[in-house]
Amino acid sequence: MATYSLANERLRALEDIEREIGAILQNAGTVILELSKEKTNERLLDRQAAAFTASVQHVEAELSAQIRYLTQLPGGITNSNSGKK
């Protein structure tokens, strides 16, 4: 039972990362749109750039944590859905 809750927790973390990547793309799109204007709103650009940078750093940290977890799993652990070792 605990294995399933841990697996669900890991899946939720990956879903959160996926949502954050969507937010990153949205921030980048906003910046590009703003830069395409003749007169740009510097404060908006600064806020969006800061949000972009913070989100990228957070995603990088979370993906690194997921990768560390996966590399520390013992070799004999099976995927409960695959039936293979």
Q: Which amino acid is at 44?
A: L
- Sign of the C-alpha dihedral computed for residues 54, 56, 71 and 12 taken in this order: positive
C-alpha gyration radius of the chain: 19
What is the predicted pLDDT for the residue at 81?
52
Closest by Cα among 9, 68, 56 to 31: 56
What are 44's two structure tokens? 């908006």
**Pair 62, 13: CB distance under 8 Å:** yes
The pLDDT confidence band at residue 4, using thresholds 50, 70 and 90, is confident
What CATH fold (topology level) applies to the domain 1-72? Methane Monooxygenase Hydroxylase; Chain G, domain 1 (1.20.58)
User: Where are the domains positioned within the chain?
Assistant: 1-72
Is the distance from CB of 20 to CB of 58 less than 8 angstroms? yes
Question: 14-66: per-residue pLDDT in tens?
Answer: 999 999 999 999 999 999 999 999 999 999 999 998 999 999 999 999 999 99
